[in-house]
């Protein structure tokens, strides 16, 4: 056995973007072990429980190693092995037939963040945009939060996690950070040693609640009401920073007109947070000055989720916390990577010039005499389809989707309205190709399953949304079987379709050099060669930089209190009196690890429903019993765990489990709806009224 250790980067949809050390048996091309990189300032030598099990995923029996073609009925998951050339020729032929008969808009990519590497995550869209396929709006996770932050502060740059130890009061608001941002924990511990108080605001008690100094339970979807109530207390006590507000913001007066209506007593009635707690929390937050809010996208998954986030992240502007080291808020660091994305993912096809735009505005040096000719060549804007409504798109959209190519995602389980998604995937007139690293529920409906490489088997460039380090991955192993990268597959299809867009055929190094070719000072001096040598590098954001302290990147140059955020409540109904939440589980990341036996067992072996004791008594739920959970969209069966963890009136099921682990073989998204958020057209997974029923 010849064992080699190699540095690599975790590719999964997590803010930590960990630097990892892989131990590989080169003789057998086997991944033996994954560990956290001790030299990375964020990873600090430890990985999460999920990542430690990656060797089992890389070599799992359910990993497809060769192209597979369907031989049974859709949904049965029966396939035969075929060669790459035969598969690609057939798929290309079917694509040409679809485009010829129905137009390119009948083709749809369904994709998300199964990998966060820019080459394998985003760049495959070059193929679809070059042919004019329908555009997928990737709304399922972050768009509501993005819209909220950008409407308030502009670029998504928040407090540097490495400066969190300087904070003196910390609100972990709507984030189970010990599960979903675990590498923030050492910085939180250091802040606590420095005297900071840590408060967790969340509808149910979890690991982060037990880590915090205090847990404040709040009813789902009422965060804006609590934020307004805190703002009112702060201003009435004279603890706001009037100078910062006057100098750096606009619309504060209108915001406070709304806040004045949210007395602590009214807040308590709506949120379930006692009025004295509202007052104390507000004053402790304000008096600390260097107060910090770490929030995430979970609290946005309600009809008023974007407004709620806006209300929450405006609190540091009221107190002027942005002016103090460690003070402010953090949703995402993704705006801190000003890469040159002009050649990434075929963006020039996705955003064609608007007819009538002067040539200089388009970067076009053509003479005016050529303007009409060039404008006439502009392709029509593609049809847009919201990924949070893929069920309706597959079953009711006109004209229909005829060819679906899925990569980096598992829509049969992770998308709302699983009933509609799976009904649509069963259509015989829908040709479906799935690029995958595991035989997921979605692959059961595929006409072709194409084996995809893992992050260990292809090179890629990674940003992060929980810190400010760029990372480069070399391919540290040979692909298992005949697995190929996503971009290789779409380049091969492009050749067969005669596409002449040169960026479609770029390799990862060429793309990385293009992305790093930026004149922004935060990227100056960062080269691919340097990244290759070091594995990771911090961007040139100055140490001690205080975002939103002196400048704000909104169009007005001010923090936007206007328009005042709405308070849109998630209300139960007489028929559906409980609110269902489906937050992340410790052992899964979306559905990525749902087939690993040890992680399934670590999570308890099957999905269980947490029910408050008062709700259990009211609705006949018994510890350990199977009950039916019904929403207006469907029903599933789950085992009950009576627990004081959720706030009364809320039931909780952690994790996006594979359907094979559920008692009834159905995933939780058989219950969730396709209704969207107030901004960003995002998903609303945490706003589902349900009822509990005894089994027949």
> Does the pLDDT at position 122 exceed 50?
yes
Please report which confidence band the pLDDT of residue 611 belongs to, taking 50, 70 and 90 as the band edges: very high
pLDDT of 489 above 80: yes
Count of domains forming the chain: 4
Which one of 15, 36, 58 terminates a domain? 58
Q: What is the pLDDT of residue 379?
A: 59
Backbone angles phi, psi at 220, to 5 degrees: -55, 135
Short-list 64, 122, 43, 17, CA closest to 512: 122
Per-residue pLDDT at 492 exceeds 50: yes
107 and 163: one domain? no
Residue 303 maps to a domain: yes
Q: pLDDT, tens digit, for every residue of 146-172?
A: 999 999 999 999 999 999 999 999 999
Which residue has tokens 């998300």?
112
* Among candidate residues 606, 611, 636, 585, the one with its CA nearest the CA of residue 48: 585
The verdict on residue 423 lying in a domain is yes
Among candidate residues 577, 587, 595, the one with its CA nearest the CA of residue 648: 577
> CATH number for the domain including 12?
3.30.200.210
Pair 303, 183 in one domain? yes
Residue 196 and residue 134 share a domain = no
Q: Are 537 and 469 in contact (CB under 8 A)?
A: yes
Decide if 536 is inside a domain.
no
Conformational region of residue 214, where left means phi above 0, alpha means psi within -120 to 50, and beta covers everything else: beta
User: Which pLDDT belongs to residue 377?
Assistant: 47
- Is 80 exceeded by the pLDDT of residue 373? no
Q: Note whether 208 and 187 are same-domain residues.
A: yes
Task: Assess if residue 108 is contained within a domain.
Answer: yes
- 237 with 126, same domain: the answer is no
Checking if the pLDDT of 483 tops 90, the result is yes
* Domain annotation covers residue 535: no
**Residue 368 confidence (pLDDT) above 60:** no
**Biggest distance spanned by C-alpha atoms of the chain:** 78
Label each residue of 468-481 as H, E or C.
CEEEEECCCCCCCC
Give 80-103 as a DSSP string: EE--HHHHHHHHHHHHHHHHHHH-
**Domain housing 51:** 3-58
Percent of the chain predicted with pLDDT > 70 = 96
Q: What is the pLDDT of residue 361?
A: 30
Rounded average pLDDT over 525-538: 96
Two structure tokens written together for 519: 């004149």
Q: Does residue 566 fall inside a structural domain?
A: no
- Which of 373, 417, 375 is closest to 396 using CA atoms? 417
pTM for the full predicted model: 0.94
pLDDT tens string 401-418: 999 999 999 999 999 999
Run of H or E residues at 601: helix 597-602
- Co-location of 427 and 523 in the same domain: yes
Please give the Cα distance from 464 to 467 (Å, whole number): 6
The average pLDDT across 210-236 equals 98
H/E run at residue 293: strand 291-295
Res. 370: pLDDT tops 70: no
Domain boundary among 11, 29, 58: 58
Whichever domain contains 173, its CATH number is 3.40.228.10
Work out whether strand 650-652 and strand 626-630 pair parallel, antiparallel, or are unpaired. unpaired
- Condensed to tens digits (0 to 9), the pLDDT of residues 468-478 reads 999 999 999 99
Same domain flag for 154 and 300: yes
179 and 304 in a single domain? The answer is: yes
């Amino acid at each position: 056995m010849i064992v080699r250790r190699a540095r690599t980067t975790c590719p999964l949809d997590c803010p930590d973007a960990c630097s990892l050390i892989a131990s590989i048996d080169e003789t057998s091309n086997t991944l033996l072990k994954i560990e956290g990189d001790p030299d990375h300032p964020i990873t600090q030598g430890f990985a999460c429980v999920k990542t430690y099990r990656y060797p089992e995923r890389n070599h799992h029996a359910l990993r497809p190693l060769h192209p597979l073609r369907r031989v049974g009925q859709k949904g049965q998951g029966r396939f035969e092995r075929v060669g790459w050339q035969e598969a690609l020729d057939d798929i290309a032929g079917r694509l040409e037939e679809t485009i010829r008969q129905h137009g390119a808009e009948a083709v749809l990519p369904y994709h998300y963040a199964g990998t966060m590497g820019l080459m394998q995550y985003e760049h495959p869209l070059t193929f679809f945009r070059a042919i004019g396929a329908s555009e997928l709006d990737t709304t399922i996770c972050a768009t509501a939060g993005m819209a909220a932050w950008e409407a308030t502060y502009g670029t998504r740059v928040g407090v540097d996690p490495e400066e969190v130890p300087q904070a003196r009061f910390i609100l972990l608001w709507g984030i189970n950070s010990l599960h979903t941002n675990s590498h923030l924990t050492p910085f939180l511990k250091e802040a606590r040693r420095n005297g900071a108080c840590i408060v967790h605001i969340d509808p149910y008690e979890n690991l982060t609640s037990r880590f915090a100094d205090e847990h404040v339970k709040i009813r789902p979807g009422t965060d804006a009401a609590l934020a307004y109530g805190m703002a009112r207390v702060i201003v009435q006590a004279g603890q706001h920073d009037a100078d910062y507000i006057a100098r750096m913001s606009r619309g504060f007066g209108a915001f406070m007109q709304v806040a004045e209506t949210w007395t602590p007593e009214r807040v308590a009635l709506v949120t379930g947070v006692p009025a004295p707690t509202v007052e104390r929390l507000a004053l402790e937050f304000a008096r600390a000055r260097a107060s910090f809010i770490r929030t995430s996208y979970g609290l946005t998954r309600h009809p008023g989720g974007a407004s709620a986030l806006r209300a929450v992240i405006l609190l540091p502007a009221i107190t002027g916390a942005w002016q103090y080291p460690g003070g402010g808020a953090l949703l995402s660091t993704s705006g801190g990577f000003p890469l040159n994305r002009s050649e990434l993912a075929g963006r020039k096809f996705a955003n064609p010039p608007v007819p009538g735009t002067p040539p200089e505005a388009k970067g076009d040096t053509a003479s005016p005499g050529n303007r009409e000719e060039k404008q006439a060549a502009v392709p029509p804007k593609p049809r847009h389809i919201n990924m949070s409504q893929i069920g309706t798109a597959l079953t009711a959209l006109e004209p229909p989707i005829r060819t679906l190519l899925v990569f980096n995602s598992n829509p049969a389980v992770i998308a709302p309205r699983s009933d509609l998604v799976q009904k649509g995937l069963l259509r015989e007139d829908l040709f479906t190709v799935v690029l995958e690293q595991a035989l997921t529920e979605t692959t059961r409906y595929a006409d072709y399953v194409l084996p995809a490489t893992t992050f260990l088997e292809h090179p890629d460039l990674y940003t992060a949304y929980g810190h400010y380090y760029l990372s480069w991955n070399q391919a540290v192993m040979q692909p298992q079987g005949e697995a190929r990268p996503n971009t290789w597959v779409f380049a091969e299809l492009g050749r067969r379709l005669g596409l002449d867009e040169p960026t479609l055929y770029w390799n990862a190094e060429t793309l990385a050099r293009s992305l790093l070719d930026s004149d922004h000072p935060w990227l100056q001096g960062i080269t691919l060669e340097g990244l290759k040598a070091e594995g990771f590098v911090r961007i040139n954001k100055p140490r001690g930089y205080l975002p939103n302290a002196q400048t704000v990147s909104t169009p007005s140059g001010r923090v936007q209190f206007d328009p005042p955020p709405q308070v849109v409540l998630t209300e139960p109904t007489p028929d559906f009196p409980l609110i269902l939440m489906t937050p992340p589980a410790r052992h899964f990341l979306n559905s990525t690890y749902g087939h690993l036996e040890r992680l399934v067992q670590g999570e308890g072996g099957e999905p269980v429903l947490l029910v408050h004791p008062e709700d259990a008594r009211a609705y006949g739920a018994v510890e350990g019993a199977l009950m039916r959970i019904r929403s207006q969209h469907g029903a599933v069966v789950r085992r009950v765990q009576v627990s004081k963890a959720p706030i009364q009136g809320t039931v909780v099921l952690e994790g996006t489990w594979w359907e094979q682990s559920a008692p009834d073989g159905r995933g939780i998204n058989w219950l969730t709806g396709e209704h969207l958020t107030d901004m960003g057209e995002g998903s609303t997974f945490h706003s589902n009224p349900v009822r509990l029923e005894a089994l027949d």
